[in-house]
Amino acid sequence: MAEHSAHAAAHDDHDHKPHGWRRWVYATNHKDIGTMYLVFACTMFFIGGGAAMLIRLELFKPGLQFFDPQFFNSLTTMHALIMIFGAIMPGWTGLANWMIPMQVGAPDMALPRLNNFSFWILPFAFTLLISSFFVPGGAPAGGWTMYPPLVLQTGASFPMLIFAVHLMGASSILGAINVVVTIMNMRAPGMTLLRMPLFVWTWLITAYLLIAVMPVLAGAVTMLLTDHFFGTTFFTAAGGGDPVMFQHIFWFFGHPEVYILILPAFGIVSEIIPTFSRKPLFGYEAMVYAVASIAFLSFIVWAHHMFTVGMPLAAQLFFMLSTMLIAVPTGVKVFNWTATMWRGSLSFEPPMLFALAFLFLFTIGGFSGLMLAMVPADYQYQDTYFVVAHFHYVLVPGAIFAMMAGVYYWLPKWTGKMYDLRLGTWHFWLSTIFVNVLFFPQHFLGLAGMPRRIPDYAVQFTDWNMVSSIGAFGFGFSQLLFPYIIIKCIRAGQPIGNRAWEGAHGLEWELPSPPPYHSWTTPPSDAVIARGAAH
Amino acid sequence: MAAHAGAPASAAHGRLDAAERRRRVRRSALLFAVIAAAFYFGFIAMMLVRAAR
């Protein structure tokens, strides 16, 4: 405690935070930038969610109800791009900005101005992308995968799409460099790699993935741009190019991207389950190695997304078996989370509830992923709603639930106030019930043969589509509770102490709530680090 | 501390002096930027080589 007082005193001397709009536009403070990332991600979540609800509105009944097919395809394309690059990735970067310096004992990120630049690229990128709805030909409609030759038929929005993807990529790469450099250079003395919290570990590995694969996506879309405007034929068969090569390059980025979206979720769940089980994490080192193994394997499985394109038998076998291999480290993680809870003194506050839902529902997504990994089965499932159900189970009750768990876990630390736990529990139950009503029937639709990315369907699929749409509206509207709970907490939450949760460990809980403007201006002592690293 | 705009510099932070930490931060940031650029240009170059065959 004496250390805290000394820390607070030191902090007071330096707490010259700017005010007004300058605080945000010129922000170099990791917490301010983290807040901006989170607000941006939340905004994009509601815009992308709005697109999803329009999609489900159209699919409520067979036949064309509200939109023409071109606009429907624009909605599916933009929903994916906004949710992946606008909601989930910036959401994780926001949490990284807030938590990594506090968790490694650093005063801020290593490159604060770069941090500011990384964030402010994003509003321009998404303004550009979303405004493409209003240009002749409408928004991009060829799918988020941007496969040529279809994407080359996009109208005036094509260069907007390409430029926006370049900007998003640049933002992600710069953010990732900042994370790696911070973790490698700014850790407090005594904060060894194997003392780092799992959230920091998962983000370190995610950042390496980002640095390796975002430039690959940028290269692929640059080649699309030159094919469209400068007469090259990288992917145009008529000129000797190879459209299938685009798919290989895209998925060389795309599969690690899946893990970019989910690895930080593993980190957050690994923080929350021990806290609310009041036990150390079972198998900390195994968890670190499992995350590293998953990241490595993510580079050698890309072609499982394109089995039906046609490839040699040996390649099919390789990509099938390497994909199945991912189940091993993933199984280690699920086992360790379960073992952490075993005979723990469990309590079920909103962060734990969301983490438990993650554990069950992400595992369902993992199982359907294993089904899709099998080549003969994949020939049946390819491009059906089964695939849609699979990746939405991974990304919604997977990534999004973990992000909400993280916000509910650290919100008392960020604000110094406790939110309305009862409303948080309501938010959890409504989300969990409706997310299953929304996505589980899509397994049945896919197995019955309903194709994805269509605005109309055969009448035999009507019942489950109606159920799924009702789930979508329920899930969508129940998310309005999330910003309400946060705003209510900021305005009228009950003040809490440094350690908001009884079982919480980690350096962030050694700081006051809310933490000082600059986190650890004096590095924490070895004893404080050891107390925090009680995993 | 590194090239820091907002947070107060503290030579006491860590075992490294501020100048050495700044050098390390810059060196590692540049290294990762070069790696990212290599992936970007490498994949385009690979496609060009493939097309030339």
User: Is B2 a domain residue?
Assistant: no
Identity of the residue in B5, B10, B36 whose CB atom sits nearest the CB atom of A113: B5
Of A68, A250, A309, A267, the closest CA to residue A179 belongs to A267
Nearest to A208 by CA among A295, A285, A84, A86: A295
Is residue B43 situated within a structural domain? yes
With respect to residue B19, please indicate whether it lies within any of the assigned structural domains. yes
Contacts of A53 (CB under 8 A, 6+ apart): A472, A473, A476
Nearest chain B residue to A110, by CA: B2
pLDDT digits (tens, 9 = 90+) for A435-460: 999 999 999 999 999 999 999 999 99
Q: Which residues on A lie below 8 Å from B49 (Cβ)? A: none
Q: Quick check: is A270 catalytic?
A: yes
Cα–Cα dist A161/A139, whole Å: 8
Contact A197, A288 (CB under 8 A): no
- Assess B12–A contact: CB distance below 8 Å, yes or no: yes
Range of the domain at B35: 15-53
Q: What is the mean pLDDT of residues A113-119?
A: 96
**Burial class of A45 by CB neighbour count within 10 A (0 to 12, 13 to 18, 19+):** buried
In a domain, B3, yes or no: no
Domain-located, residue B9: no
pLDDT at A15: 58
Residue B46 lies in a domain: yes
Instruction: Give chain A positions within 8 Å (CB) of B45.
Output: none
Please state the domain count of chain B.
1
Nearest to B13 among A27, A213, A523 (CB): A523
A333 has a chain B CB within 8 A of its CB: no
A188 and chain B in contact, CB less than 8 A: yes
For the stretch A322-340, pLDDT in tens is 999 999 999 999 999 999 9
Cβ separation B25–A110 shorter than 8 A: yes
Sequence-separated (6 or more) residues with CB below 8 Å from residue A34: A94, A95, A96, A97, A98, A99
Is pTM beyond 0.90 here? yes
Q: Any catalytic annotation for residue A526?
A: no
Integer Cα distance of A351 and A338 in angstroms = 16
Question: Average pLDDT in the A169-194 region?
Answer: 95
State which residues of chain B have pLDDT below 50: 1-12
Query: Which residues of A, range 68-127, sit inside 8 Å of B by Cβ?
Result: 106-108, 110-114
Residue A362 has pLDDT above 80, yes or no: yes
Spot the catalytic one: A144, A385, A464, A509.
A144
